[in-house]
Each structure stands twice: as structure tokens, then as C-alpha cells.
Structure 1
């Protein structure tokens, strides 16, 4: 069983640390709030999102191969995106932004590409098979 004085000291230190962290976070938030968000930046972000989603949509809406079957993933993706574009272009834009974010997260999580091993050198010994 822990000594009551030691446990009380630990709790006091944890409370003090929590207060210091909270004060630091409040000071940081205050510094960020001093700068107003520019309207031009928001307009640019919206424009960039639209242009990027259109470019991605053009890339994904290329016709699938003619010999693709009904369950071909490229064909199904093409049909789904074309239907989204016709019924709800706004939803398609949000969906493409979501897929883009997932793609970036996947790339970040993958880490550096694996290094290939050096090819093995050819053996200088003669094979025993060809006697």
C-alpha cells in the first residue's frame, strides 16, 4: 500500500502539471486568434478544391476498357462516379476530397519505400548437373 503523503504529493504534482499545460494551451490559442482569417484565402481554398476535384474526376471518368466485365473494378468505379456526378455534383466534390485525404494518409502511414535487395551474383563454380 502506498504512503498517503507520497500519493498526495504525486496528485499535487499532477494537478500542477495539468494547470501548466492548460495555461500554455490557452496562451497558444490566444496568439492564433489574433490573426483574422483572410477571405481571399478561403476563396482560394474553395477554388483549389473545385479545380482539383475536377481534375481527379476527369482522370477517373476515362472510359474503362471495352472488354471489361460487369464486375470489373474500373468499370464499377466509372459507373458510380458518373452517377454521382449526374445526381449530386456537390456530394461528388466532397467525396473526392475525402478520398484524396485518405490517399494522403495512406502514403504517410506507408513510410519509406522498401529497398530492393541487390541481385545475386552468378556463381563461378560449374554446375554438377551437366556431367
Structure 2
């Protein structure tokens, strides 16, 4: 037997639908807000500025951009990414690891971006309120 317009089942269904609509609106709002705070459209420009500020080889930008895009990069790929000779690429990678912008779980494992508290404000400035 179909539910009548005044059926409690129909009322719960309507409330559930309203909750789902509200919940999805909140999710979309949060995604939009956080995306804006990370300013991902200018993240590569900030990585390039970081490389210039630190005075490391300009090829470091290619490594950082690749790591940012892929999430991690194998150490052996750095030479191919930068176009540098193997020894120079290893020295560059060592400098980025020593600086702390890159990190690895193991001495020979892939590297990933690391954002420390001290560097977060410059890499993601919109995440922090200006006082």
C-alpha cells in the first residue's frame, strides 16, 4: 500500500532529503573555502620564489614542482627531472632534504614535500590570519 501524504515514513524521507541537501552544501562550502586558503593556483609560483630565496640551483624548482604534483618522487628520478648529472642531482637533493622542504621516511626511499610550522606561513599564507 503506498504511503499517504501524511504518512510518518514520508515525513522522515523529506527530513532525510533536507539533511542530505544541507550536508552537501556544507561540504561544498568547506571545499571551496579550504581550496581558496591553499591558493593552489599560485603554489608553483611560491615554490619558485622559495628556490630563489634559498639560493639553491634553479633546477630545484623542477624537483619541487614534480613532487608537489605526484606526491612523491624516487630519489633516482631527480637527475632525469632536473637534467643534471647524477652527482650534482644527489647534491641538490641533499640540500633540499637538509633544508627541510623535502623529507623521506627512509634514507633511500622516495621524497615528499614537508611543510613545517615555521615554513607553513610562507608556503600557504592565506591559512594564517594576519594580526
Query: With structure 1 as the length reference, what TM-score do the two structures score?
Result: 0.32
Per chain length, whose mean CA-contact separation is higher, i.e. which structure has more relative contact order (CA < 8 Å, sep 6+)? 2
Question: If you compute each CA radius of gyration, which structure gives the higher value, 1 or 2?
Answer: 1
Query: With structure 2 as the length reference, what TM-score do the two structures score?
Result: 0.32
